[in-house]
Amino acid sequence: MMESQIVSYEYKDGISTIQMNDGSKNLMSPRMLKELNKALDQAEKDAGVVIITGSAGVLSAGFDLKVLKTGVAKAFSMLNAGFALTTRLLSFRTPVVIACNGHAVAMGVFLLLSGDYRIGATGPFKIMANEVAIGLTMPATAIVVCRQRLTPAHFVRAVMQSEEYNPASALEAGFLDRTVAPEDLFEEARKIAEKFTQLDLEAHYKTKLRTRRQLIKALKRANRFDRFDLIIQGIRRILK
């Protein structure tokens, strides 16, 4: 029996809508990351403005911790794919709108911060980079992604102190560009995307690369550092 997809893709009127729905917390598992990249491959072919959203009040609760505990190789592959996804989105050929329909935690926050425009649903939702709170050193890639969007004061509080934000405070901190009522989220995200379809997309892409040249270089360096760091951590686990 074939597994049902946990990432859906729809292209209509110049907009590629990508929705994550694993029936739970939209964890950034190897399967989720593979399907997200497949959907982005199709979006590149369709050359549409991209909307990425979650389901059931959750954008994403981050990496799948069960995979992290299964072994070094699987953990390395998943984490590396997640870090690579942020670089791909920040240099994507067309505008990327993230419609944050609820909670965004850890890798879910880094996904959120990788969009060109971030619109979030109001409500009792948690937006948080919780790595330090759960005893993990923040990956270099995540630090670069957070630094490029968060205000300096909130960067320290979010990254070093694992401060928990709600949609209103997340707007102030720089996690979001705008908030709307949950029932209006997708309609408003689509309106934003429709405006982006009127841009000269080639000029947008070239300007994005020019504007983010140093950021992309920093991300690639951070990706390499994180891969090396993961290998060292894996060796230490084996030798224990």
pLDDT at 236: 60
- Domains of the chain plus CATH, in order, are 7-185 (3.90.226.10)
- Name the residue among 179, 164, 17 with its Cα closest to residue 104: 164
Please tell me the pTM assigned to this model: 0.94
Task: List, for residues 169-226, the tens digit of each pLDDT value.
Answer: 999 999 999 999 999 999 999 999 999 999 999 999 999 999 999 999 999 999 999 8
What span, in angstroms and rounded, lies between the C-alpha atoms of 46 and 103?
29
Task: List, for residues 38-89, the tens digit of each pLDDT value.
Answer: 999 999 999 999 999 999 999 999 999 888 777 678 888 999 999 999 999 9
Q: Given a cut of 70, is residue 240 above it in pLDDT?
A: no
* Phi, then psi, of 166 in degrees rounded to 5: -105, 175
pLDDT at 73: 80
Tell me the residue type at 117: Y
Average pLDDT value for the chain: 93
Task: List, for residues 102-120, the tens digit of each pLDDT value.
Answer: 999 999 999 999 999 999 9
- Top pLDDT among 159 and 66 is at 159
Sign of CA dihedral 94, 99, 100, 101: negative
Q: Given a cut of 70, is residue 101 above it in pLDDT?
A: yes
